[in-house]
Amino acid sequence: MNTATHTLDPHGAHAAAPTGILRWLTTTNHKDIGTMYMTFSLLMFFVGGAMILAVRAELFQPGLQLMKPEFFNQLIGVHALVMIFAALMPAATGFANWMIPLMIGAPDMALPRLNNWGFWLLPPAAILLTLPFVLALFGIGDGAVATGWTLYAPLSVQGGIGVDFAIFAIHILGVSSIMGSINIIATILNMRAPGMTLMQMPLFCWGWLVTAVLLIITLPVLAGGVTMLLTDRHFGTHFFDAAGGGDPILFQHLFWFFGHPEVYILLLPVWGLMPHVLSTFTRKPIYGHTAQVWSFIAIGVLGLVVWAHHFLTAGLPVPALLYFMYSTMSISLPLAVLFFCWIATMWRGAMSFETPMLFAVGFIVLFGIAGLTGLVLADVAADAQYHHSYFVVAHFHYALFTGGIMGVMTGVYYWLPKWTGHMYSEKLGKLHFWLTVVSFNLTFMPQFFLGLAGMPRRIPDYALQFAEFNAISTVGSFILGLSQLIFAYNIWRCVKGGEKASNTVWEGTSGLEWELSSPPPHHSWETQPVIKA
C-alpha cells in the first residue's frame, strides 16, 4: 500500500467554523456527526433500558405490584422501538459515519448536509415516541403505544393517540435511515481511494453496504404499512378491517417484510466489524474475506424472502409453511460460513484478550445460541408450541443483545482510542465485559426455560410455577442494567483523557484508518491514498 497525493479538497471554503452548540447543529463533518449518533445511541440505550427494568421489576413476583397492565404494555412496546430504532440503528450509523470514510480513504461522506439532517431528525422522533408518556401525566391521551413494537392490527387500529405518535415517529426515523443509507451507498460506490476495488474493500464497509440496500428496500414498505394503519384509524379506509373487506393478516405481512430484514440490518454492520477485531487480536489476516462478502450478500437476499416465519401460527396454508420453514433454515448456511471464517481467523493465532477481543469472543459464543434456537423456532411443528412464548423473547435477545449490542460494544472499545486519542481503562472494560456476560445469561437463559414451560410473552402477571425463573431473570437484568454504567463511565473517562493511544492503537491492526493519527485530524484523507494491489 502506497500513500500518494490525490487531492479532493471538499472543505476549502469553511475555515471559520462555528463553536459551541452551533457547531453541533450545523456540522457536516463525518466525525462530528458520527460522535452525535454514538452519543444519542448511548443515551437512548439507557432510556430503553430503564423502561425494561421497570418491566422486570413488575415481573419479579407474580401478581400486579408496581403498575397497571396498560402501562406495562406501553413499556414493552416503547422499549423495543427505542432499542431498535433509537439505540442500535444509530450506533451502527455512528460507526459508519466515523469509520467508512477513514477506512476507504475518503475525505468525508458523499452528502455531508444530508448527513447532518439525517441525524437531527432522530431527536424529534425519539421525543414523539416517548411524549405520550408525559402527556398522559397531564391527562392528555392514554399513554404511549401499547401494542408491542409490532403494531399488529386490529389492536393498533383501536389503540389511543400513542399509536399515532408511534406512526409519525416511524415515518421520521424511516426518512432518516433512508437518507443515511443513500449517503453510505454513495460514499462507498463513489469515494473509495483510487485503486481500492469493491472486493478489496474492508468487510465493515461491506456489511454496511448490504445493510443500506436492505434499508432502502424494506423501510418504505413499513412506512406504507403504517400509513395504511393511519388512514384506517382516521380516514375511513379498511386495509386491515375484515368487516370492510380488508385483512388484519396483511399488516403482519407488511410489517415483517420489513421486520425480518431489519434483524440483518441491525446485525450486518456488527458482522462486518467482527473480522477486523478478530484479526487484530490474533495478529493474523482475516480468513475468507471473499467468502464473507458473499455470505453477507446471500444473507441479505435470503433475509428478504423469509418474513412469514414470524407468524407461522397465523393460519398460513401448508405449502407456504413449508416454504417459509425451509427458506428460513437455509439462512443458517451462509451464517455458518461466517462463523467458520471467524473461528478460522482465530485458529492458531497469537491471541490476546483485550476488552474488544473479549466482547468479540463472547459475541461468537452467545450469538451462536441465538442462531441455534432460531433454527428450533423456524421449525413449523415446534413453533406451534414456542410461538409467542418467552422462548422467543430469549431467542431474539440472544440475537439482538449479544449479536447487536455486544457487537456495538466490541466496536466502541476497539475504535474508541482511535476516536479520542486516549486508551480507555482496560480494568473497567474487562469488569464491564464479565458483568455483562454473566448477568446477560442470568437474565435470558431462564427465559428459555420459561418459554418451554409455556409462559406467554407480553403479560404483566403469570402463574405461580414461573415465579423462580422470573425472579432470577429480574435479578440478572438489574445487574446487567447497572453494569452498563461502568461502560458509560469508561467512555466518559476516555473522552476526558488517559494514556495516549498510538496511531495503530493495537499491535495487529491493518487498514487505512490506522495510518491516521489518534485522534485523526478534523479533516482526514483530503489527500486520498492510492491503493496498490
Partner 1 sequence: MREAALPPPRRHGRLVVRLLLLAAAFFGFGFALVPLYDTLCAAIGFNGKTLKDAIAAKDLPPSAINYQRKLGVQFTSTLMPGLPWEIRPLEPAIEIHPGELRTTRFLVRNLSDQTIVGQAVPSVTPTVAARHFRKLDCFCFTQQTLAPGESREMALTFIVDGDIGDEISELTLAYAFFPAPKDPG
DSSP of 355-392, one letter per residue? HHHHHHHHHHHHHHHHHHHHHHHHSHHHHHHHTTBHHH
Among 228, 267, 358, 377, binds partner 1 (CB under 8 A): 228
Across 396-519, the runs of DSSP E, i.e. the strands, are none
Instruction: Give 432's Cβ-side CA count (13 Å radius).
Output: 23
User: Residue 500: helix, strand or coil by DSSP?
Assistant: strand
* Contacts for 305 with CB less than 8 Å, ≥ 6 apart: 327
194 contributes a contact to partner 1 by CB under 8 A: yes
Contact at 8 Å (CB) between 98 and 42?
no
186 contributes a contact to partner 1 by CB under 8 A: yes
Q: Choose one: 95-103, 251-259, 405-413, 426-434; the region binding partner 1 (CB under 8 A).
A: 251-259
Q: How far is the CB of 244 from partner 1 (least distance, A)?
A: 4
265 contributes a contact to partner 1 by CB under 8 A: no
304 contributes a contact to partner 1 by CB under 8 A: no
CA 411 to chain centre: 12
Enumerate residues 305-344 that contact partner 1 by CB under 8 A: 315-318, 320
254/312 with CB nearer partner 1: 254
Q: Choose one: 73-81, 179-187, 466-474, 506-514; the region binding partner 1 (CB under 8 A).
A: 179-187
Among 133, 239, 256, 386, binds partner 1 (CB under 8 A): 239
DSSP of 336-352, one letter per residue? HHHHHHHHHHHTT----
19 contributes a contact to partner 1 by CB under 8 A: no
220 contributes a contact to partner 1 by CB under 8 A: yes
82/215 with CB nearer partner 1: 215
For the chain, state the CA radius of gyration: 23
Task: Give φ, ψ of 325 to 5 degrees.
Answer: -65, -50
143/261 with CB nearer partner 1: 261
Which x/- pattern, by CB under 8 A, does the window 96-135 give for partner 1? --------------xx------------------------
Q: How far apart are CA 411 and CA 513, in angstroms?
A: 14
216 contributes a contact to partner 1 by CB under 8 A: yes
Among 59, 153, 219, 501, binds partner 1 (CB under 8 A): 219
To the nearest 10°, the Cα dihedral for 363, 80, 31, 277? Answer: 0
Task: Give φ, ψ of 358 to 5 degrees.
Answer: -60, -45
244 contributes a contact to partner 1 by CB under 8 A: yes
Q: Choose one: 2-10, 41-49, 323-331, 387-395; the region binding partner 1 (CB under 8 A).
A: 2-10
Enumerate residues 450-509 that contact partner 1 by CB under 8 A: none
Q: Choose one: 178-186, 367-375, 419-427, 447-455; the region binding partner 1 (CB under 8 A).
A: 178-186
456 secondary structure, DSSP code: B
* Contacts for 177 with CB less than 8 Å, ≥ 6 apart: 89, 93, 118, 215, 219
Contact at 8 Å (CB) between 157 and 229?
yes
Q: What is the residue type of 117?
A: W
Q: How far apart are CA 389 and CA 393, in angstroms?
A: 7
60/168 with CB nearer partner 1: 168
- Interface positions with partner 1 (CB under 8 A): 3-8, 110-111, 178, 181-182, 185-186, 189-191, 194, 216-225, 228, 236-239, 241-245, 247, 249-250, 253-254, 257, 315-318, 320, 528, 530
